[in-house]
Chain A
Amino acid sequence: MDFRGSEFASGPAREDALPASAATAVKIVIVGGFGVGKTTLVGSVSEIRPLTTEETMTEVSVGVDDVRGIEQKTATTVAMDFGRISINKHLVLYLFGTPGQQRFWFLWAGLFEGALGAVVLVDTRRLEASFDVIGRLEDGGVPFIVAVNVFPDAPTYPLDEVRSALDLPAAIPIVACDARSRASSRDTLLALMRYLYRLSTQSAAPVAASAATE
């Protein structure tokens, strides 16, 4: 065993290493407010203990509270928990749990780029926190579904009521989810994948049809 590097990071435990054949990675983003259960969901299905990556940015901010708008440099650090699922020998799926705030998305520009899609995790006690997120995903053209995390102490509403409260278009699936349960979290991801698959075949269909008529 080589311990020379032990004052620095040692990397993954042997059982957490990917096979040498792992060639391609894809990602799904789990978006939601603080405490809504993003990391719980990621941890329920991940093959590794959720890890945390972070990004920093130095921004010049004009102090609002300060007199005469004095410029200040602030270092912003934002952390993001993530997990991993080996799909097969070659393909790896990463799940990133992402806060909903705009500041965060600005810092992690490119997080949604190349993502398969997103799951918006909502807490029925704080639905208003999800409006912004849903609007921004729609604007960004990121396909998503909504998952209502079922908290034991929260009132449960029929999904249709949550849908209309969120003003969610009929085409976008909404599912109930228990983020603590591996099966329920997996089913939530599968609901997203089925939706994405449907979208991919729908968008291909008109092209094929027009090609056939030519």
Chain B
Amino acid sequence: MTPSPFNDASLSWDQAGPERLYVITGGRGASGRRADVDLITLVVARTAARPEMQPEHASILRMCHSPLSMAEISAYLKLPFSAVAVLVSDLLRDSYVEVRSAVRTDRVRNPELLKAVMYGLQRL
């Protein structure tokens, strides 16, 4: 299989080999993951990281003192999105984080929303 064309990805994949991913997520695949988190779900910590926590959980809590998308968490942790989804689902279950969900699919055609994005881009 051809590796990704992007420079850093194969490196991080080597670091996060299947075994490490298995350990980090406790061997859980999609079963440990909430369906409502996607790439642009914003995650915000509700509590501070504690020393006894799994390091990846603690890292997420530290970086999410401001809202941060799942995609960004995945990038900073150098972990695949699906692994981050399991980790964030753990934190959600324990109410250590809250999530601000993406605009629902049926609302992305909302003219007011589209206008807001347009105004924002015009100011760039």
Residues of A within 8 A of B (CB): 2, 4-5, 7-12, 17-20, 22-27, 34, 39, 45, 51-56, 58, 74-82, 84-88, 91-94, 96, 99, 110-111, 113-116, 182, 186, 189-190, 193-194, 196-197, 199-201, 203-204
| Complex contact B116–A88 (CB within 8 A) | yes
| Complex contact B38–A110 (CB within 8 A) | yes
Residues of B contacting A201 in the complex (Cβ-Cβ under 8 angstroms): 111
B47 within 8 A of A: no
- Report Cα–Cα, A23/B44, bound state, in Å: 10
Q: List 9 additional A-B contacts (Cβ < 8 Å) besides A87-B117, A116-B117.
A: A26-B117, A52-B6, A77-B9, A94-B69, A114-B38, A189-B121, A193-B121, A194-B118, A197-B111
Q: Tell me how many residue pairs across A and B have CB atoms closer than 8 Å.
A: 198
- Report Cα–Cα, A20/B43, bound state, in Å: 11
Residues of B within 8 A of A (CB): 1, 3-6, 8-10, 12-13, 18, 21, 38-42, 44, 49, 51, 55-56, 58-59, 62-69, 71-72, 74-78, 80-82, 100, 102-105, 108-111, 113-122, 124
Residues of B contacting A86 in the complex (Cβ-Cβ under 8 angstroms): 120
Which among A5, A11, A45, A114 has the greatest number of chain B C-beta atoms within 10 A?
Answer: A11
Residues of B contacting A8 in the complex (Cβ-Cβ under 8 angstroms): 55-56, 58-59, 77
Shortest CB–CB separation between residue A53 and chain B, in angstroms? Answer: 4
9 cross-chain CB contacts under 8 A:
A5-B55, A9-B59, A20-B66, A54-B12, A75-B1, A93-B117, A93-B120, A190-B118, A200-B111
Q: 6 nearest interchain CB pairs?
A: A11-B63, A87-B120, A79-B9, A51-B75, A79-B4, A17-B66
Contact partner of B100 among A7, A23, A54, A55, CB < 8 A? A23
Instruction: Given A79-B4, A88-B120, check contact A24 B74 (CB 8 Å).
Output: no
Instruction: Given A190-B121, A200-B109, check contact A27 B42 (CB 8 Å).
Output: no
| Complex contact A56–B13 (CB within 8 A) | yes
| Complex contact A193–B75 (CB within 8 A) | no
Residues of A contacting B111 in the complex (Cβ-Cβ under 8 angstroms): 197, 200-201, 204
Residues of B contacting A94 in the complex (Cβ-Cβ under 8 angstroms): 39-40, 69, 71
| Complex contact A26–B103 (CB within 8 A) | yes
| Complex contact A53–B116 (CB within 8 A) | no
- Report Cα–Cα, A155/B64, bound state, in Å: 47
Residues of A contacting B76 in the complex (Cβ-Cβ under 8 angstroms): 9-12, 51
- Report Cα–Cα, A188/B2, bound state, in Å: 31
Instruction: Given A25-B103, A55-B81, check contact A197 B115 (CB 8 Å).
Output: yes
| Complex contact B113–A26 (CB within 8 A) | yes
| Complex contact B124–A186 (CB within 8 A) | yes
Shortest CB–CB separation between residue A198 and chain B, in angstroms? Answer: 9
| Complex contact B117–A55 (CB within 8 A) | no
- Report Cα–Cα, A79/B71, bound state, in Å: 11
Shortest CB–CB separation between residue B35 and chain A, in angstroms? Answer: 10
| Complex contact B100–A22 (CB within 8 A) | yes
| Complex contact A199–B109 (CB within 8 A) | yes
Residues of B contacting A110 in the complex (Cβ-Cβ under 8 angstroms): 38
